[in-house]
Structure 1
Amino acid sequence: MSKLKSWLQSAEIYLEKRVVILFFFGFSSGLPLLLIFTTLGLWLRGAGISLENIGYFSWIPLAYGWKWVWSPLVDRVSIPLLTNWLGRRRAWLLLSQIAVVLALIGMANSDPQQNLSAFVIFALIVAYSSATQDIVIDAFRIESAPEKFQAAMAAAYMTGYRIAMMVAGAGALIITAWASDGDAYQLSAWSISYLVMAGCMSVGIITTFVCHEPDYENKQKDRDALIASKLKHQHLPKTIAHFLAWLDIAIVEPFADFFNRYGKPAAVILLLIGTYRISDIVMGVMANPFYLDMGYTLGEVAAISKVFGVIMTLLGAALGGVLLSRYSTYSILFLGACLVVITNLIFAVLAFVGKDLALLTLIISMDNISAGIATTAFITYISKLTNIEFSATQYALFSSLMLLFPKFIAGFSGVYVESFGYIEFFVGSALIGVPVLGLIILLKKIIDE
């Protein structure tokens, strides 16, 4: 009974106001991703676009992998009028959210069969605007609460994120099927679906208005650092000296701070960050085309993968948050990475067996619980690595690195499947996740020493 009470007390943290805010921001953050990733893959496949081109389309979310490039601007630059009204974090949030809405409307009014170039441009705008929103939300989360809340806030964020993915996945498919006359591809049905998705971004916009700006700026520290940095350039004209000082604070210091704090293990930490999610990201590109090629209908995919699967992810995220409050971060990182490798191997079994709804349901359950645990552990881990003085820039670097290499490799997944088949693809996507387990063990040993 005492153990049950202890677990219940651990779960009470999810009722904290700051944790709830992150739930809604997670929804706003998660909604655009599938609309330029797996849901987009279904739209393109239905429109007759080749698997090779669908694989190349998976490079569009690489914008998330480059967000560290402009994160110093988001971290330090004020937006005229909006910043004075809302504060720096909320101003950037509102601007990025409005850009996502407008770009989704642009996609809804484009035809990939007739003008693929325009379609790509709007999808890129969604990606870069959504990546900018993520930069701000990550900084907001780190700055809004002390470390004891970070695991719960990460789990709440993941819960909102995955519910948004259910909306952008199953919801988009259900709307498309409802708006279609029969099973044949219809552009108008997809257009309606994406317009509805644009409207769902209002959740994030409303949350931006009702939440409070975090007390993060430390203006005196910024002024002291700026003055100290300007002394290095005092021989230069005032304007140039001020600009170079700003570059020192916004760009040089965040990166120098990380390497100064972690020393030699920094390289191993960055290697782990850059490869931790490689197995599930590479597999995820071909998941929806795999379901269709196996003979599953859009309704079955929506029900099992996009609804039931997301519910399992929410369970995994919540479980991950509780586990992180009771066990070490490295232990849960290892558990999550190990489970992802195992579930990718089981997908190969499904590819061998053929269409089987019961087996698909079982695998989706295991896969999404594993992803929920792994992602919550990973978000918590890189949050702990971040110095609050450089929160937006450092976290953007870590989360960008997390996606950059895996997304690049995933771009060739369609070519690999067409050359070798799904069984070999799923086995390969599992095997490339095995070295990650060794990295976690090595890093834990280095840190403990």
Structure 2
Amino acid sequence: MEKRMDETGAGDGCPMPVVPAPTGGTASLARLGRPRVDSRALYLMMLGFSSGLPYLLAFSTLSLRLAQAGIEAALIGFMAWVSLLNNLKFLWAPVLDRYRAPGVGGLLGHRRGWAALCQLGVAGALFTQAHLDPATGLLPVALVAVLTVFWSSSQDIAIDAWRIELSRDAAETGVLAAAYLWGYRAAMVAGGGGTLFLAGTVGWAPAYTVAGGAMLALCLVIMLVPTPGGGDGDRPVMTPSKGLAGVLVTTGVVLLASALILAVGLAVPRVMAPLGGGPGRGDIVAGVGALALLPFLAAALSVPWVRRYGATSPLARSTATAGLVEFIAHYGWFGLVLLLFTALFRLGDLMMAAIGKTLYANVGFTAQTVGAVEGTLGLAAAITGVAVGGLSVGRLGLRRALVAGGVTAALGNLAFAWLSLSPPDTWRLALAVFLDGFGSGVVSAVFIVFLTGLTCRAHAGAQYALLISFAFLIPQLLAGTSGLLLDQLGYAWFFTCTGILALPALALVIPVTAAHVHRSQGQSPPPE
């Protein structure tokens, strides 16, 4: 792999990040509308669509497929742990930050090359999933879902850093983030409602095949369409032979990495089988709670060491750890508060997503009805929510926008609690889907602006991956127990509890937005 050249102009330091962090309502709506983002916004919408499409296909859409295949709720909940791989992407994010992708990386450039390689991997995983039947074997379905999440999360590393680098100033960041999220939310509706509609009409295999074809088409577009404005990786193919060789090398790398992941996945059950037994369900819940605390304990133990030796340590110059060291050195102990806030803020929203779609089958809605509602009203709600969330940061300030996002997301969960108590009615379904889509859109837009502003350009990919990992670690660990909780509480109480889970995080909004202001001004965070 080629070593990455500095394409951001950021050098080795961490200049002022690109996200504004107002805490009051001083920014005007007109000012938000003036940034010159040219065709980059359309490009970011396409990249957002590519990021969002695989998510539900390995998560909540897959949970409904499993429910229809007769898999019990507890096992469906455990399948949410497949997505935990996404929370470990900070471990290999520095590699994607430093090196070009093998094969096409030298032809397409740094971020663009990695995005194309990962899209090819996602497409292959979805094509494979189309030919599997969970009713005859759950393990192959789970392993291919792991493969989907691996390539999808790797793609997110490249695209997140690419999005940050494409922003020239603070005013553009909100607009580009909103454009990315419009594409992302549209893809989630396509991967959710669109796939459900196709599955109800022609079956799950054709539905997943269409999704794989869409990813392959996006890969071709990324390879053929240059980055707007001559951005990252705008490298023309010198000759057809070099282009073909690059594609063949990239395809080989994708196949080899996929084979290794599947081989490890198949070997683990065989190694564990002789041990016999297994933990009980109560032990699983307790173990998950303890496991969720380990990353925070590790971060806490590293703070004193980094504050004393970080600037002179070899770790500060290492590809693998430089981003983490810079983050801890900048925020110190207050960084733990930021990580805790990111973990709690979307807790209820993501726990619901793990098993929420099984409600549709339980109440009696058909896949065609759900797909039609989510594919139309759900898409409109998501796009509207993203727009409102993006604009609310400038209109209300980041602090009030975070509160508004948390409340609207909670309302979406409560709407599903109400739906679970009602007979199957399309209008009730439409209202619940709209409230959930709108709330999720608002909270996603605000949250991505918040996280982006905590990073520094020199380590954009690694630091954003770290923050996203903490943001989804606890929710996805607990989401694996959602089936057990659902069996104990029932749908109404389960959705009610997930609706109020994010409220404790709102108590931290004032200090975390204060840190956001200090980072944007190139200062240290508030005194500890």
1:159 to 158, 178, 182: 182
User: Does 1:109 pair with 2:161?
Assistant: no
Partners of 1:408 and 1:105 lie apart in 2 by: 27
Give distance in 1, aligned partners of 2:39 and 2:111. Answer: 18
Query: How has the CA–CA distance of structure 1 residues 93 and 370 changed in structure 2, closer, same or farther, with 3 Å as cutoff?
Result: same
Give deviations 1:137-191, integer Å, cap 9, x for gaps.
0000001122321111111111111111122112212222222xxxxxxxxx211
> Which residue of 365, 368, 372 maps to 1:299?
368
Between the aligned partners of 2:69 and 2:316, the Cα distance in structure 1 is 46
In 1, are the aligned partners of 2:198 and 2:368 still within 8 Å (CA)?
no
Partner residue, 1:182: none
Letter aligned with residue 471 of structure 2: M
Cα deviation code 1:418-447 (max 9, x no counterpart): 122011101211222110111213434676
Q: Which amino acid aligns with 1:283?
A: M
**Residue type at the aligned position of 1:411:** G
Q: Answer yes or no: is 1:69 the counterpart of 2:91.
A: yes
Aligned to 1:230: none
The TM-score normalised by the length of structure 1 is 0.85
1:403 counterpart residue number: 472
AA matched with 2:505: V
Q: Is the 8 Å Cα contact of residues 18 and 145 (structure 1) preserved in structure 2?
A: no
The Cα of 1:195 is off from its aligned counterpart by 0.8
- Tell me the residue number matched to 1:86: 108
Q: Which residue of 2 aligns with 1:223?
A: none
User: Counterparts of 1:444 and 1:74 in 2: how far apart (Å)?
Assistant: 29
SS in 1 for 2:319: helix
2:208 is matched with which residue? 194
Counterpart in the other structure of 2:198: 175
Alignment of 1:359-374 (within 5 A): 359-374=428-443
Matched, 1:263 2:357: no
Task: Give the counterpart of 2:158 among 119, 126, 136.
Answer: 136
CA distance in structure 1 between the aligned counterparts of 2:172 and 2:470, rounded to whole angstroms? 24
Identity of aligned residues (%): 32
CA RMSD of aligned residues (A): 2.2
Aligned pair partner of 2:122 in 76, 97, 100: 100
Q: Deviation at 1:410?
A: 0.8
Q: Which moved more, 1:271-280 or 1:254-263?
A: 254-263
How far residue 9 of structure 1 moved from its aligned partner, in angstroms, is 6.9
| 2:341 matched residue in structure 1 | 272
Shift of 1:59: 1.2
> 1:349: Cα distance to partner?
2.4
Question: 385, 395, 411: which one pairs with 2:454?
Answer: 385
Deviation at 1:340, TM superposition (A): 1.6
Asked if the contact 2:32–2:391 (Cα under 8 Å) also holds between the matched residues in 1, the reply is yes
Paired residue for 2:418? 349
Q: Point out where structure 1 has 5 or more consecutive residues left out of the alignment.
A: 1-5, 180-188, 217-243
Equivalent residues of 1:166, 1:306 under 8 A apart: yes
TM-score (norm 2): 0.73
Query: d(CA) in 2 for partners of 1:343 and 1:169?
Result: 16
- 1:14 is displaced (CA, Å) by 8.7
Letter in 2 for 1:190: W
Aligned CA distance change for structure 1 residues 20 and 116 (closer, same or farther; 3 Å):
same
Contact map agreement 1:165 1:306 (CA 8 A) in 2: no
Aligned length: 408
Per-residue deviation at 1:194?
A: 0.7
Q: Equivalents in 2 of 1:10, 1:389: separation in Å?
A: 25
* 1:107 Cα offset (Å): 0.8
Q: Which residue pairs with 1:211 in the alignment?
A: 226
Q: Cα distance 1:303–1:15, how it changes in 2: closer, same or farther (>3 A)? A: farther
More helix per residue: 1
Unaligned runs of 5+ in 2: 1-27, 234-312, 518-525
